[in-house]
A and B are shown apart, each in its own frame.
Chain A
Amino acid sequence: MSTARPTRRPYLIIGLLLLAVAAVTAWDASTMRIRANYGVGADAASYLVAVFFCALAVGHFVAAFWGPGTTVEEIDLRAVGWVALALASLVAAISLGAGFILGTTLLFAFTARAFGRRAFLADVLIGAVLGLLVYLLFHGLLTLALPEGPLERLI
């Protein structure tokens, strides 16, 4: 496994992100109109967290300019892409009304692909059986509603 040289750049980027979140939080707090009669209002916690974020940002900038840096392992972006596709197809299946079973089938099969499996059709079948079992468990035994699609209405 190859590991990259120590780098300080992540600290700089994370520090900037922390500042951005602090700014958004403080802005959100400034829009709160209801004030408390005693003590402090709902905005106080937001300002406290924003200040905390700023302090952490300073810490990150110190690490970015004077720290020893951090080593970041190289990653296989293709595998990340397959998992992303798996999760995206689940969201798509549920938001388009294709149902839970189809969603989990694709989720399972694409995730297995990300881990180096090549037998896609077999994995689709396993995923479908798993999704069906989970659906029956929730629907029948626990009477919890899972998103339904054409497949689920057949059962």
Chain B
Amino acid sequence: METLYLLAGGFESALTLSNLVFAAIGVFIGTAVGVLPGIGPALTVALLLPVTFKLDPGGSLIMFAGIYYGGMYGGSTTAILLNTPGEAASVVTALEGNKMARAGRGGPALATAAIGSFVAALVATIGLAYLSPVLVKVAVKFGPWDYFGLMLLAFVTVSATFGDSPLKGLTSLAFGLWLGLIGIDQLTGQARLTFGVPQLLDGVEVTTLAVGLFAIGETLSVASRHLYSPEQPIPVKGSLWMTREDWRRSFFPWVRGTLIGFPIGALPAGGAEVPTFLSYNIERKLSRRPEEFGHGAIEGVAGPEAANNASAAGTLVPLLTLGLPTSATAAVMLAGFQQYNIQPGPLLFAQHADLVWALVASLFIANVMLLVLNLPLVGLWVKLLKIPLPWLYGGILVFAAMGTVAANPSVVELVLLIAFGAMGFLMRQYGYPIAPAIVGLILGPAADSQLRRALQISQGDPMVLLQHPGSAIMIALAVIALVLPFVFRGLAKMGKDED
């Protein structure tokens, strides 16, 4: 009941005209930028952070929520119509969705993706509203050791559990942690790794790293591999409406996708693509027409899209209640909060309760807006897909430069941006994931200060981390998550040797 009461208060402040306008702008920009190939939700939020710098915190956080949900919607449109998914999470959508579009069923594919996203985001946002207060009650009892254990677990799950090589994920994480060291130490006021450059004393901005790695790295990567072949979006022919048969075949995949996606997003289990792959495989197993998979089965669009959006909403649970980002997008959102000196975590629900609940309420509003906006405007989004890539990437670089220069007008910042871009290019070239670096940069300093606080209380005894059950369990889980992939690989290798 308390949650309903708080949520009603949230709706009251979210339904003011100015906040509705912010939500609408966010949803519109989020979808538009999400549709553009090569720009995922993380980069969208990072590019738009400096633009909102001078706006009112409540309004711009509501806008970010719109951008976050909108970017997810936009990504699925690209995946279905262009077969070049903008981010890892919509790779699976492209498998069946693009086949459907080629078969002239682009309309129903877009519709099942949009409605599935709506259902998933609705259920997951309700989950967020009810789960967060419970988690907050637990989290206020957390000591610094528990936070350190939790961050350790997040580091491992973000970088090592999934992906092709834990070594590469951990290396990317280490790069982010190392960047997090740069700057003035909060507790003693000493400079770390600044090499006498005064502009480095404030540390490395998360947005500069994200924009450099994503925007410039992606541009270099696409240009150098000549990936700009003139692929044209498939025109949407026929009706946008789903038949009764389509509804029947989509309903349970939506529900199952939501149930898979939300817990994976909410538990810091990392990786937006994992629930989509899981959902796809389950739908293929359960389908009465498994032969259609690979040729445009609507279940293969409905399930993964729902899973994708449910896990995106789930990611907000650890972000808001613990201040723990478990994806690149969440890390950039955290930077957005910090830009207004708002620190997500259990205290956020006490100090800025009105803001939190307005944000949750506007997630519901953004979700409805997306459903209403998306399908009728699909013609507009398709036009966006026709922007020639030379201009698109030229524009992306202009916006990247603009954001960085506006946030911090110094040549050093610009050179850093370009250096991160070069790094992002090399990381793509050699198969190192990007997200762990961004999470490492934003969580590294936090983990550092929690560890030192814990050791101050214990007077330097590191065993304090293992003496408290909470931190001991989380550190154990982190070790298991780290070792497990190697064990599995070892087992797989042994299996192969026996063959």
Give B289 Cβ to nearest chain A Cβ, in Å: 34
Alpha-carbon separation in the docked complex, A1 to B10 (Å): 53
Q: A80-B220, A134-B398 are in contact. Are A56 and B430 (CB under 8 A)?
A: no
Q: Does A19 contact B (CB under 8 A)?
A: no
Q: Does A16 contact B (CB under 8 A)?
A: no
Among A72, A94, A131, residue most surrounded by chain B Cβ atoms (within 10 Å): A94
CB-CB < 8 A to B220: which residues of A? 80, 83
- B397-423 contact mask (Cβ, 8 Å, vs A): 1 or 0: 111011001100101001100100100
Q: Does A32 contact B (CB under 8 A)?
A: yes
Give B413 Cβ to nearest chain A Cβ, in Å: 10
CB-CB < 8 A to A25: which residues of B? 178, 181, 193
Q: Interface size of A by Cβ–Cβ distance < 8 Å?
A: 70
Can you list 11 pairs linking A and B with CB atoms under 8 Å apart? A32-B192, A34-B188, A39-B452, A49-B174, A53-B178, A59-B167, A83-B220, A87-B216, A90-B414, A91-B411, A115-B393
Find B395's partner among A14, A76, A90, A108 (CB 8 Å cutoff).
Answer: A108
Q: A14-B171, A36-B188, A53-B174 are in contact. Are A116 and B394 (CB under 8 A)?
A: no
Alpha-carbon separation in the docked complex, A83 to B389 (Å): 14
Q: Are B456 and A38 in contact (CB under 8 A)?
A: yes
Q: Does B448 contact A (CB under 8 A)?
A: yes
Q: Interface size of B by Cβ–Cβ distance < 8 Å?
A: 63
Find B223's partner among A56, A79, A108, A109 (CB 8 Å cutoff).
Answer: A79
Give A95 Cβ to nearest chain B Cβ, in Å: 5
Interface SS of chain A = helix
Q: Are B177 and A73 in contact (CB under 8 A)?
A: no
Find A75's partner among B174, B216, B224, B455 (CB 8 Å cutoff).
Answer: B224
Q: Are B394 and A63 in contact (CB under 8 A)?
A: no
Q: A83-B219, A83-B220 are in contact. Are A73 and B429 (CB under 8 A)?
A: yes
Give A140 Cβ to nearest chain B Cβ, in Å: 12
- B51-75 contact mask (Cβ, 8 Å, vs A): 1 or 0: 1011000000000000000000000
Give B197 Cβ to nearest chain A Cβ, in Å: 13
B residues 213-237 touching A (CB-CB < 8 Å): 216, 219-220, 222-226, 228
Residue in chain A with minimal CB distance to B185: A42
Residue in chain A with minimal CB distance to B177: A49
Residue in chain B with minimal CB distance to A108: B394
Q: Does B390 contact A (CB under 8 A)?
A: yes
CB-CB < 8 A to B222: which residues of A? 115
B residues 373-394 touching A (CB-CB < 8 Å): 388-391, 393-394
CB-CB < 8 A to A109: which residues of B? 394
CB-CB < 8 A to B406: which residues of A? 138, 142, 144-146
CB-CB < 8 A to A130: which residues of B? 395, 398
Interface residues, chain A, with chain B CB atoms under 8 Å away: 1, 10, 14, 18, 21, 24-25, 28-29, 32-34, 36, 38-42, 44-46, 49, 52-53, 56, 59-60, 63, 70, 72-73, 75-77, 79-80, 82-83, 86-87, 90-91, 94-95, 100, 103-104, 107-109, 111-117, 123, 126-127, 130-131, 134, 138, 142-147
Find B421's partner among A87, A123, A145 (CB 8 Å cutoff).
Answer: A87
Find B187's partner among A29, A42, A95, A111 (CB 8 Å cutoff).
Answer: A42
CB-CB < 8 A to A60: which residues of B? 167, 171
Q: Does B458 contact A (CB under 8 A)?
A: yes
CB-CB < 8 A to B389: which residues of A? 115
Q: Are A40 and B394 in contact (CB under 8 A)?
A: no
Residue in chain A with minimal CB distance to B401: A90
Q: Are A72 and B456 in contact (CB under 8 A)?
A: no
Q: Are B415 and A52 in contact (CB under 8 A)?
A: no
Q: Does B243 contact A (CB under 8 A)?
A: no
CB-CB < 8 A to A83: which residues of B? 219-220, 223, 397
CB-CB < 8 A to B395: which residues of A? 108, 130
Q: A83-B223, A116-B390 are in contact. Are A44 and B452 (CB under 8 A)?
A: yes
Q: Does B143 contact A (CB under 8 A)?
A: no
CB-CB < 8 A to A100: which residues of B? 402, 405
CB-CB < 8 A to B398: which residues of A? 104, 107-108, 127, 130-131, 134
Give B22 Cβ to nearest chain A Cβ, in Å: 15
Give A123 Cβ to nearest chain B Cβ, in Å: 7
CB-CB < 8 A to B405: which residues of A? 94, 100, 146-147
Q: Are A49 and B393 in contact (CB under 8 A)?
A: no
Q: Are B430 and A70 in contact (CB under 8 A)?
A: yes
Give A12 Cβ to nearest chain B Cβ, in Å: 12
Q: Are B224 and A79 in contact (CB under 8 A)?
A: yes
Find B390's partner among A95, A107, A111, A147 (CB 8 Å cutoff).
Answer: A111
Alpha-carbon separation in the docked complex, A2 to B436 (Å): 29
Q: A39-B458, A95-B411 are in contact. Are A142 and B54 (CB under 8 A)?
A: yes
Alpha-carbon separation in the docked complex, A34 to B189 (Å): 9
Q: Does B198 contact A (CB under 8 A)?
A: no
- B428-445 contact mask (Cβ, 8 Å, vs A): 1 or 0: 011100000000000010
Q: A32-B190, A104-B402 are in contact. Are A18 and B54 (CB under 8 A)?
A: no
Q: Does B341 contact A (CB under 8 A)?
A: no
Alpha-carbon separation in the docked complex, A131 to B395 (Å): 10
Q: Does B294 contact A (CB under 8 A)?
A: no
Alpha-carbon separation in the docked complex, A127 to B402 (Å): 13
CB-CB < 8 A to A49: which residues of B? 174, 177-178, 181
Residue in chain A with minimal CB distance to B447: A45
Give B86 Cβ to nearest chain A Cβ, in Å: 17
